[in-house]
């Protein structure tokens, strides 16, 4: 069937091709009065090519933008998005993006709900992470619609996976902490004990470097990234873990590292953490070190303001926020009391 003048064209290309149907549309005239035609895309069959051409004529969009790949779109989106969010949130989106390799090279105008749903449904991760993948895809394609690269956000039709409520965090018991001390010569035992007696969030702990965050003279660490109250907080190392910190400073650039001195990110730390605890018959998650630290502070009768400063929790009390100041010596007294 002949298409109307100015509507565009569909051409079947010769040879064996996965997407042999080329769609082109008219985009006005150049300075030499020659008609400018641009390729809208390549499609597997005539029906898909016809639908793409119909969508374009219904709502014309930036063809050059629609021909970018998902990989290119994510790069554009992340440059804008990452300037507005914390590093921990950036890592969450990057981790979700890593599960989308099957669409990296696909033109964004050709990516449909079914393909994205398959990514979410088949990712070999828990429901929470799959929900993050769905959320990332929706945000990235919302950006594409807002910039007229595409007309419709098919990601908003992805069915969100059911998120099972996680088990409550359980602190390490006294006997489990004693077991770790019995294995204090093991590399991972030292790091986990440091984690328990400092209470950093796992990703914060992995970011602590001896050059930028740790003062070996004062035996304190300064860091934090999740909340305003938690940023750039100071947490002293208690006396019992100082030897571990000094030892690690001689072998690596970062507090969290492997025995060969390699600094590792949170995902690698999580894996090493679980493998080591399994080897000594202890079952815990990295974040439960933070809950253990909070519990130890409670058990030691730590002042509420000091506890909030060490954990990076915000205060709703104006008096606490403005008028109560604690010195590093007071923070050291608190961690040594546990």
Domain ranges of the chain: 9-60, 70-157, 174-336
Q: Across residues 34-41, what is the average pLDDT?
A: 74
Contact present, 134 and 163 (Cβ < 8 Å) = no
- The pLDDT, as a whole number, for residue 34 is 72
Contact present, 245 and 237 (Cβ < 8 Å) = yes
Question: What is the chain's mean pLDDT, rounded?
Answer: 86
pLDDT in tens, 256-308: 999 999 999 888 999 999 999 999 999 999 999 999 999 999 999 998 888 98
Given pLDDT bands bounded at 50, 70 and 90, which one contains residue 65? low
- The pLDDT, as a whole number, for residue 266 is 86
Q: Across residues 15-32, what is the average pLDDT?
A: 79
pLDDT at 328 over 70: yes
Percent of the chain with pLDDT over 70: 88
Report the range of poorest mean pLDDT among 89-103, 142-156, 313-327: 313-327
- The pLDDT, as a whole number, for residue 87 is 84
pLDDT in tens, 42-56: 888 999 888 888 887
Per residue, the 3-state secondary structure of the chain, as one string, reads CCCCCCCCEEEECCCCCCCCEEEEEEEEECCCCCEEEEEEEEECCHHHHHHHHHHHHHCCCCHHHHCCEHHHHHHHHHHHHHCCCCHHHHHHHHHHHCCCHHHCCCEHHHCCHHHHHHHHHHCCCCHHHHHHHHHHHHHHHHHHHHCCCCCCCHHHHCCCCCCCCCCCCCCCCHHHHHHHHHCCCCHHHHHHHHHHCCCCCHHHHHHCECCCCEECCCCEEEECCCCCCCCCEEEECCHHHHHHHHHHHCCCCECCECCCCCECCHHHHHHHHHHHHHHCCCCCCCCHHHHHHHHHHHHCCCCHHHHHHHHCCCCCCHHHHHCCCCCHHHHHHHHHCC
- d(CA 194, CA 244) in angstroms, rounded, equals 8
The CATH topology of domain 70-157 is: DNA polymerase; domain 1 (1.10.150)
> By C-alpha distance, which of 338, 337, 288, 335 is closest to 309?
335
Given pLDDT bands bounded at 50, 70 and 90, which one contains residue 62? low
Report the range of poorest mean pLDDT among 3-7, 68-72, 131-135: 3-7
pLDDT at 319 over 50: no
Q: Is the pTM of this model over 0.95?
A: no
- d(CA 288, CA 95) in angstroms, rounded, equals 22
pLDDT at 66 over 80: no
Under CATH, domain 174-336 is a member of which superfamily?
A: Intergrase catalytic core (1.10.443.10)
- The pLDDT, as a whole number, for residue 68 is 85
Contact present, 132 and 95 (Cβ < 8 Å) = yes
pLDDT in tens, 154-199: 999 999 877 655 567 899 999 999 999 999 999 999 999 999 999 9
Percent of the chain with pLDDT over 90: 52
- The pLDDT, as a whole number, for residue 169 is 81
pLDDT at 115 over 60: yes
- The pLDDT, as a whole number, for residue 61 is 62
């Amino acid at each position: 069937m002949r298409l109307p003048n100015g509507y565009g064209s569909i051409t079947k290309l010769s040879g064996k091709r996965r997407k042999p149907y080329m769609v082109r549309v008219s985009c006005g005239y150049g300075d030499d009065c020659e008609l400018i035609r641009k390729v809208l895309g390549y499609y597997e069959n005539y029906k898909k090519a016809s639908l793409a051409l119909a969508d374009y004529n219904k709502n014309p969009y930036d063809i050059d933008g629609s021909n970018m790949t998902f990989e290119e779109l994510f790069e554009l989106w992340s440059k804008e998005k990452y300037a507005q969010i914390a590093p921990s949130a950036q890592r969450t989106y990057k981790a979700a993006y890593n599960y989308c390799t099957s669409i990296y090279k696909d033109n964004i105008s050709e990516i449909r709900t079914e393909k994205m749903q398959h990514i979410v449904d088949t990712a070999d991760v828990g429901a929470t992470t799959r929900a993050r993948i769905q959320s990332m895809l929706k945000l990235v394609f919302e950006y594409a619609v807002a910039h007229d690269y595409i007309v419709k956000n098919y990601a908003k039709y992805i069915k969100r996976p059911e998120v099972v409520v996680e088990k409550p965090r359980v602190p390490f018991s006294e006997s489990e902490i004693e077991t770790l001390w019995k294995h204090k010569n093991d590399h991972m035992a030292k790091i986990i004990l440091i984690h328990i007696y400092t209470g950093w969030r796992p990703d914060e702990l992995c970011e602590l470097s001896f050059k930028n965050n740790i003062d070996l003279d004062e035996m304190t660490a300064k860091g934090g990234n999740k909340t305003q109250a938690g940023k750039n907080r100071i947490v002293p190392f208690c006396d019992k873990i100082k030897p571990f910190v000094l030892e690690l400073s001689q072998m690596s650039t970062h507090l969290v590292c492997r025995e060969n001195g390699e600094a590792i990110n949170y995902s690698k730390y999580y894996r090493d953490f679980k493998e080591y605890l399994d080897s000594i018959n202890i079952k815990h998650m990295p974040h439960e070190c933070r809950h253990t630290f909070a519990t130890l502070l409670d058990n030691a009768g730590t002042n509420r303001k000091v506890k909030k400063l060490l954990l990076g929790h915000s205060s709703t009390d104006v008096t606490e926020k403005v008028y109560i100041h604690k010195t590093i010596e007071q923070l050291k007294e608190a961690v040594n009391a546990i």
